[in-house]
Structure 1
Amino acid sequence: MTTPAAYNKTTLFIAACCGLLLFGIALLTLGSVSQGLQQNFKLDKLEAGTLFAILPAGLLTGSLFFGPVCDRYGYKVLLVTACILLATGFTGIAYSPSTGWLQFSIFIFGLAGGIINGATNAVVADISGEYKGANLSLLGVSFGVGALGLPFVLGILKQHYTYPFILSGAAVIALLVALFYLLIRFPLPKITRGVPLKKSFGLLKDMVLLLIAFYLFCQSSLEAIVNNWTTTFLIERKNLSDSNALYALSACIAGMTLMRLLTGTIFREITAKKILLFSFGLFLCGIVLLQTTASFFTALSGLLLLGAGIAGGFPIMLGLVGSRYAALSGTAFSLVLVIAITGNILVNYLMGIVAETYGIQHFITLLYVELGVMVLLFISIFKKIK
């Protein structure tokens, strides 16, 4: 590995934040321009749903291979390539001449996003010392800023510009980030010859890593069902208006962003175990408020607590992975992120079946189940680490 003098940690952290900010923007882009795409390509609901299924397939692919590539060839080439691919995806979504090209562009878009998400987290874990979880929490703030800021920016720009023009602007931003990455130094590859397949496959036998991976399976699926089903629950079960339900959902992202900011600064010295215990308490209070809410204010408060409660999962668990598997951190990150995204896809699909068959009220039931499973996994992880 390279010596610390070969690169500037502050510059690298800023670079990682730029990448994850870009990922936050990218992840919300498809949903934000879906109406325009449906009108432009005359898509029905089923065809539109297929587009949303292609994005996680791309994310999964990018998450699968970024780690071994980073460990063998370093971060720079992969991150620069991913930003160029993301710019290509933005442009393709904006100007695709056919549905086939649109689908391909969305896959490339997801592929690049998966690479950027994984590689930026991995590089921050590599350059951090004992405060990996805290630094990853601060990194996560940039994702929240991108995810929170995009709807407001689009709301303003849509009054004056078409969605292809806006997406072209996002492509230019992605290319500027690629240029930034070209101009700075990254850590050297951890592996200088070949690929240690035996060690890589050996990770699959490590029970601690697998427990962390399935914790993030629950964490990712939890974030998915909160983001995708909360508004339906609030509108159909709590009689909130569409606009109030969306405002309440924004409070969830705000709560997550605020908690990650606190974890990376004021709570920096608090152990990961205590942060997660506190997070479980916040999340439980959020579920209870959401279940019993009879007003917009209570729903807003509940989702703020929900967001704060799920904020610590990814930064803290990825921090543990980075500390425990420093020699193959990229590959280890790939493994846990692939399992996490799989959870996002499967449980979100399961929630659709449950809502259709038994009613949207079981959204709350699934939140309780996820929380219970995560507590059990948390106990097992820290027992084995100890």
Structure 2
Amino acid sequence: MIPAAYNKTTLFISACCGLLLFGIALLTLGSVSQGLQQNFALDKREAGTLFAILPAGLLTGSLFFGPVCDRYGYKILLVSACLLLAAGFTGIAYSPSTGWLQLSIFIFGSAGGIINGATNAVVADISSEYKGANLSLLGVSFGIGALGLPFVLGILKQYYSYPVILSGAAVTAVGVALFYLLIRFPSPKITQGQPLKKSFGLLKDMVLLLIAFYLFCQSSLEAIVNNWTTTFLIEQKSLSEGNALYALSACVAGMTLMRLLTGTVFRKITARSILLFSFGLFLCGIVVLQTTASFITALSALLLLGAGIAGGFPIMLGLVGSRYTALSGTAFSLVLVIAITGNILVNYFMGMVAETYGIQHFITLLYAELGVMAVLFIFIFKKIN
């Protein structure tokens, strides 16, 4: 019997729902950190430990999802991840001890890593052309989730405690899991065991490794912009904390807008041209940020930085999806694990640089990362061509 065909539009919408959840999840811990510190009487070091557990979970989920979805398909994996995410939301809201809280955050992060990787992989699989443009459109839903959560919390916290709000997020995750149960996904790519030799063979592919280390830089660049921009603006540019946070929100807005344009107006423009344009935007953003003397120019700088960041993941994951269709999940796992490792390592390195030499070298590191990415870009497209 021939299995019923899946509906590409329905699958794309389902992937957007998942990545929207991931956007909400990624900002949840930071958004409720003050409440957690008060409830569990955490000092700054203990709170920092919680923030370190989240990327460890993301790394685990990213490593796990690829081989599983290639062997068993997407449905079971995504349904399970959404239910684990709901459990994580609930655990963060109602954990009776710090031990349970730490476990909940790890489960939460692992589920987020699975959802992020699997939704991107499924969109790459169902896109016969314009993979990068479609992945950019998918990325818009992440931006909506990441932008929307602080505003929703800001409105609702006047009426509800954060555990009640997180319970609502858990119910939403269960709803997405039910949605996944009702729709058909592409069939597993591997039906007779996992060809480990072929999977490990990906590690010998120079193009895939170049893309992975490009995303190492891309992910770490996003991390230091998200985590250190407010400190730079407050300490070096004398902006108020409120204005610095507004400027950082402009970065997410710029990224979301650029991904929307890439997926619609610019969808027929080549990946190479989009990335070159992105480098130009990001370079302008660094220059404006370095020379900024007011809130308005800082806002402009962060909009440019966000727009410059936008193309990296969708376009590079689109290239991975096009080249490795037989093992797309495993290939995505490999590059995302290396990308998240970059996020963790370079963010830690930036902390040491700021402590030893000063926060002004935040700008130096932005220039250095952009330069390395430009070199990797040249080698990637030279190899592809």
Q: What's the TM-score once normalised by structure 2's chain length?
A: 0.99
Q: Alpha-carbon deviation of 1:4?
A: 9.9
User: Letter of the aligned partner of 1:263 in structure 2?
Assistant: T
User: Letter of the aligned partner of 2:173 in structure 1?
Assistant: A
Q: Which residue of 1 aligns with 2:120?
A: 121
User: Letter of the aligned partner of 1:295 in structure 2?
Assistant: S
User: Letter of the aligned partner of 1:273 in structure 2?
Assistant: R
Q: Alpha-carbon deviation of 1:129?
A: 1.1
Q: Which residue of 1 aligns with 2:83?
A: 84
1:235 is paired with a residue whose SS is helix
Counterparts in 2 of 1:294-309, with a 5 A limit? 294-309=293-308
Q: Which residue of 2 aligns with 1:132?
A: 131
Q: Alpha-carbon deviation of 1:3?
A: 8.4
Q: Which residue of 1 aligns with 2:40?
A: 41
Identity rate, percent: 89
Q: Alpha-carbon deviation of 1:5?
A: 5.9
1:6 aligns with 2:8: no
Counterparts in 2 of 1:46-195, with a 5 A limit? 46-195=45-194
2:366 is paired with a residue whose SS is helix
1:187 is paired with a residue whose SS is coil
Alignment partners' CA distance in 1, 2:2 and 2:61: 28
Report Cα offsets for 1:200-240 as digits up to 9, x if no partner. Answer: 00000000000000000000000000000000000000000
Report Cα offsets for 1:321-370 as digits up to 9, x if no partner. Answer: 00000000000000000000000000000000000000000000000000
Alignment partners' CA distance in 1, 2:281 and 2:150: 26
Q: Which residue of 2 aligns with 1:367?
A: 366
User: Letter of the aligned partner of 1:17 in structure 2?
Assistant: C
Counterparts in 2 of 1:303-322, with a 5 A limit? 303-322=302-321
Alignment partners' CA distance in 2, 1:292 and 1:112: 40
Q: Which residue of 1 aligns with 2:286?
A: 287
Deviates further, 313-322 or 2-11 = 2-11
1:289 is paired with a residue whose SS is helix
User: Letter of the aligned partner of 2:381 in structure 1?
Assistant: F
Alignment partners' CA distance in 2, 1:198 and 1:348: 34
Q: Which residue of 2 aligns with 1:197?
A: 196
Q: Which residue of 2 aligns with 1:341?
A: 340
2:54 is paired with a residue whose SS is helix
1:283 is paired with a residue whose SS is helix
Q: Alpha-carbon deviation of 1:41?
A: 0.2
User: Letter of the aligned partner of 2:66 in structure 1?
Assistant: G
Closer/same/farther in 2, CA of residues 321 and 162 from structure 1, 3 Å limit: same
User: Letter of the aligned partner of 2:368 in structure 1?
Assistant: V
Alignment partners' CA distance in 2, 1:374 and 1:286: 16
User: Letter of the aligned partner of 1:266 in structure 2?
Assistant: V
Alignment partners' CA distance in 1, 2:140 and 2:4: 27
Alignment partners' CA distance in 2, 1:226 and 1:21: 21
User: Letter of the aligned partner of 1:41 in structure 2?
Assistant: F
Q: Alpha-carbon deviation of 1:130?
A: 1.5
1:242 aligns with 2:241: yes
Alignment partners' CA distance in 2, 1:25 and 1:6: 31
RMSD across aligned C-alpha pairs, in angstroms?
Answer: 1.0
Q: What is the number of residues matched between the two proteins?
A: 385
Alignment partners' CA distance in 2, 1:349 and 1:224: 10
Q: Which residue of 1 aligns with 2:208?
A: 209
1:6 is paired with a residue whose SS is coil
Alignment partners' CA distance in 1, 2:124 and 2:283: 29
Report Cα offsets for 1:258-307 as digits up to 9, x if no partner. Answer: 00000000001100000000000000000000000001000000100000
Q: Which residue of 1 aligns with 2:378?
A: 379
Alignment partners' CA distance in 1, 2:296 and 2:169: 34
